[in-house]
Structure 1
């Protein structure tokens, strides 16, 4: 069974660990559960509240067992995935019986476990509240909720809003916070909130927690705003994420968000391999505890130690002092290798390349992630390549330390992504292609045999860059160093032990969406 864990995230034996400076870093224990949800096979069929509750109790029973298991491991907070209680693919009408009533803030505080009769249609909230009490931990879950509105209002014609909702309960069962998902992804049963929410709360063991849900991670509001404007240090992330390689598997974007902003990121995903859903984890700036398994239908409870203040934990070489190979990136003397050199079998860099007789053109187009990337191949065992999209250019110095008969290419994209969402991207990506033909570059790949040491950089026009590094067998790595130098964002890595699948700097230009 494919269960990949990062080699550098061995469980810490105690809650305090010394950094290199001798400073003592405090930790808390977190849990996330990747849930193999029991799905409603008749999700568009109308039903009643009683039948809806009977269905949801099947998933809630599993939740309760996982809370008990997490409690035995000393967890202080647990996160469950998006849609894990009721499933998905509902219509606005068919999901209604599955929705709990969410009390307005002026009727709080409220402890559903101790006050079960205070509000009608809150059975799921009551069950979650009592789980938190039994486990003695904070509990984060996702469910559908209904909120009354003015009848016949044009935005609310049936007298209610229906929201995809995260809720938080304290260890004594008190209702702490709620968040309505802002960026819906083909969720026809739910409404988009009129205004984005920035939900921030504290716990006895750490402060500045915030919540986002699934597709929210790709947008400024509220995900980035929570960190940049509200100084959140811990992101709680229920998701129902369908993996899309080579750039947007669940664990890639989760790890990248924690790295980009230097925060802790607690992510719980649904587990259904036939839907391409797996990938959960607990991420700090310098450690990863993660799960990715496309070979079974097993759920997984992940436990990890998380720094109370992520800024006190060493991040993996972020903004470390680096140099770009032996030459400055602007130097005309830098020897950029192109495929035509190898096709003529000239130059020492080409010797030993298994692809020297079948290299693609020096620049070619191929589709990756529904976008038209411009690629240049890596024609030699070592060398330097660059590829541009108008004025945006990506550069790569590389050495293949173990060479297989595989095609790698450096790709660039600068433009508006318009499939399954609209958002502006700038990307530099080194990828293993699906085959030896140019058109296979950008295909989904999970295994690779070629080990590559590299320096990757680009002249990005956004500061919001997400570093991604994935190796064979869906294994996450942190780069040796990454950050900014001379107005270029860079990522360096060496001494890899497994084949490279993807190394990317994934840039978002939020103001051009």
Structure 2
């Protein structure tokens, strides 16, 4: 048996990888030329290798059949799977700055070599027609029962996750997404085996076996995140922050390596972003991203440009007020891109981590959960396979969910814990504090250089309430580079035109929460209209809304418009309130200008 395993390894290495490399080379060589002759040579080479394998009798044939299957798959990948011309596809995929090639790890322009050609897929080949108008999705915000920085801790959290996957709470769910960073840490990274069905692999790490078996037992797609050690084709080991997707049989069908790292020392990132997709048996193709990736253009924008409208998103997001709390930014991103987003955040409120949801483009949050106390919560929603172009359809109210009793772990939490949410650095913001007590109607304009924010606001003043505190409000404008706490992180081009809550009329006192039990909503906002113009660059402009209980507004509570001013080479953006609001914390036009990003 050892001898036949050796034969299999040699054939995989020299036949399969050889065909794969040859195909990559020919793809670039024949980018704008007929490929008939090239494909014939590739097919002949594959037939010879497959014939050698098939000619072997007995048990060895069973061992080597997967190799033959890989060779056939690679040889038949020369034809473009749908009607998109090869020339057009190559043009899109060969420019790393604007978008790279894709699939499960393997990228057709050869940027990253896959160790398993059987799983290679292009974005274009995975797009299929959904089989039903909706699919049932779940995301789980997990408060881990232990830290995953020891072997014992990893075992405890793995059992917790397995119990969740196999829980009756997930009955009928098609796909479930779990958070980033709960299973382990970089110092307890798990080696990845060469197999894809970990449940049946005695050489696979116990964590991977148990999770694979849980997905198999539950018969649902499962998305997990962990730190993994992976060997490349030269047998060098690399540490990645990785999302792994299991299908209903517990087989690995996709892996994604986090590209935009945040303070993760010792963790590597790919040379270019993985453009990972996977297609389900209910006909929906998903893209994959992890946490900080959502702040940047790639890999998601490239996937969206190729028609991907559904994303799974494990995250360990440290909320920052008033613009970058977790659920707030998730909804803003899904709304601006008009895609479905299944976002699972780690629950650690003492360090500002909470906020998970299921979002459907312009319809906003189907389910959302934010907790200021430790809790584990399962969110389930029927997600439309065809994302609506607007929010004109019927919408149910956002559920302000409490912790699930069966899966929650509660303890007391102090006011100081709540104050640990991050806060924006307002030193480079221009602000105007609004005095509604003297004038319930406020209009004007604030500019930074040639970036201006026009506002028109009307309130009714409900007066002070004894024993309670009220927010004051300011127009807040930013047009600069945003700095992050992690000094190794790129500075982000950012533009903001906003109305935000403050506890006093000073920059240092804006974006700070008043404990919910102590707040009195003095001002009822009857009208808010914000308008701005932005230079036409590679950017994403989005509405950003937040209530004082840290939940995004319902999508039909506001109206967001973005249009192009061709003669001025600018965008015009406006955000208006559709219905009166008392619990307003943030109401903003928030733009990420990717062209201004710098190291």
- Band of TM-score, shorter chain: 0.7 to 0.9
Alignment of 1:107-118 (within 5 A): 110-113=196-199, 115-117=200-202
SS of the equivalent of 2:214 reads: helix
Matched, 1:179 2:264: no
Corresponding position of 1:242: 318
| 2: CA distance, partners of 1:381 / 1:430 | 15
Report Cα offsets for 1:22-73 as digits up to 9, x if no partner.
Answer: xx981111111111113438x4xxxxxxx72x43221121112222336654
Q: Is residue 167 of structure 1 aligned with residue 244 of structure 2?
A: yes
Count of equivalent residues: 408
> Please, which of 530, 535, 557 is the counterpart of residue 456 of structure 1?
530
Distance in 2 of aligned mates of 1:225 and 1:204? 24
**How far did 1:79 drift?**
0.4
Aligned-residue offset at 1:436 = 3.5
Query: Which structure is higher in RCO with an 8 Å CA cutoff and minimum separation 6?
Result: 1
Q: Which region of structure 1 is more displaced relative to structure 2, 187-196 or 423-432?
A: 187-196
- The aligned residue for residue 457 of structure 2 is 398
Question: Partner residue of 2:284?
Answer: 207
Q: What is the match of residue 432 of structure 2?
A: 376
Q: Which of 470, 474, 478 is the equivalent residue of 1:409?
A: 474
Tell me how far 1:125 sits from its aligned partner: 2.1
Kindly indicate whether the alpha-carbon contact (under 8 Å) linking 1:432 and 1:445 is maintained by their aligned counterparts in 2.
no
Residue pair 2:473, 2:499 contacting (<8 A) in 1 also: yes
> Helix, strand or coil for the counterpart of 1:475?
coil
Greater helix share, structure number: 2
For 1:419 and 1:293, locate their aligned partners in 2 and report how far apart those are by CA, in whole Å: 24
Name 2:50's counterpart in structure 1: none
Tell me how far 1:206 sits from its aligned partner: 3.9
Look up the SS of the partner of 1:511 in the other structure: strand
Distance in structure 2 (CA, Å) of the matches to 1:215 and 1:411: 24
Deviation of the 1:232 alpha carbon: 1.4
Aligned residues of 1:376 and 1:386 also touching (Cα < 8 A): no
1:276 and 2:331 aligned: no
Matches of 1:223 and 1:446, distance apart in 2: 36
Higher mean alpha-carbon deviation, 210-219 vs 71-80, is at 71-80
Alignment check: 8 A CA contact 1:374 1:413 kept: yes
Change over 3 Å in CA distance of 1:406–1:498 after alignment to 2: closer
State the alpha-carbon separation in 2 of the partners of residues 147 and 371 from structure 1. 43
Q: Secondary structure at the match of 1:476?
A: coil
CA contact (8 A) 2:147 2:182 kept: no
Q: CA deviation at 1:123?
A: 2.5
Question: Structure 1 pair 437/445, CA: closer, same or farther in 2 (3 Å)?
Answer: same
Residues 287-436 of structure 1 aligned to structure 2 (within 5 Å): 287-288=364-365, 289-294=367-372, 296-311=373-388, 314-315=390-391, 368-369=424-425, 372-379=428-435, 380-404=439-463, 406-420=471-485, 421=489, 422-436=491-505
In structure 2, the gaps of 5 or more residues are 1-130, 394-422, 464-469, 566-570
Alpha-carbon offset, residue 270 of structure 1: 0.8
In the aligned structure 2, how far is the partner of 1:242 from the partner of 1:445? 19
- Cα distance in 1 for partners of 2:338, 2:140 equals 23
Equivalent position SS for 2:595: helix
- Shift in Å at residue 199 of structure 1? 0.6
Alpha carbons of structure 1 residues 438 and 424: separation in structure 2 relative to 1, 3 Å: closer
Give the CA deviation at 1:83. 0.8
Which position in structure 2 is the counterpart of 1:222?
A: 299
**What's the CA shift for 1:287?**
3.9
What's the CA shift string for 1:292-323, capped at 9, x where partnerless?
A: 111x21211111111112136x4369xxxxxx
Q: Which residue of 1 aligns with 2:576?
A: 492
Deviation of 1:267 after TM superposition, in Å, equals 0.7
2 CA distance for matches of 1:25 and 1:206?
8
Match of 1:334 in 2: none
Moved more, 27-36 or 488-497: 488-497
Q: Is the 8 A contact 1:246 1:444 kept in 2?
A: no
Aligned-residue CA RMSD in angstroms? 2.5
- Contact 2:231 / 2:238 at 8 angstroms: preserved in 1? yes
CA separation in 2, counterparts of 1:189 and 1:457? 44
Contact 1:425 1:508 in 2 (8 A): yes
Q: Does 1:472 align with 2:548?
A: yes
1:279, distance to aligned residue in structure 2 (A): 0.8
Write the distance in 1 (CA, Å) between the matches of 2:507 and 2:241: 41
CA, structure 1 residues 78+431, in 2 after alignment: closer, same or farther (shift >3 Å)?
same
Find 1:232's aligned residue among 308, 316, 320.
Answer: 308
Matching residue of 2:178: 80
Unpaired stretches in structure 1, ≥5 consecutive residues:
1-23, 44-50, 318-366
- Decide whether aligned partners of structure 1 residues 127 and 370 sit closer, same or farther in structure 2, where only a CA change above 3 A counts: farther
Classify the secondary structure of the residue corresponding to 1:193.
coil
Alpha-carbon separation, structure 2, partners of 1:143 and 1:481: 39
CA gap 1:504/1:215 in 2 versus in 1, 3 angstroms: same
1:336-364 per-residue CA deviation (whole Å, 9 max, x = no partner) reads: xxxxxxxxxxxxxxxxxxxxxxxxxxxxx
Q: Could you say what secondary structure the match of 1:383 adopts?
A: strand
Deviation string for 1:451-482 (max 9, x for gaps)?
22211121122551121111222232124311
SS in 2 for 1:134: helix
Distance 2:512 2:313 in 1: 27
Q: 2:190 aligns with which of 99, 102, 118?
A: 99
Whole-angstrom distance in 1 between the partners of 2:455 and 2:258: 38
With structure 1 as the length reference, what TM-score do the two structures score?
A: 0.74
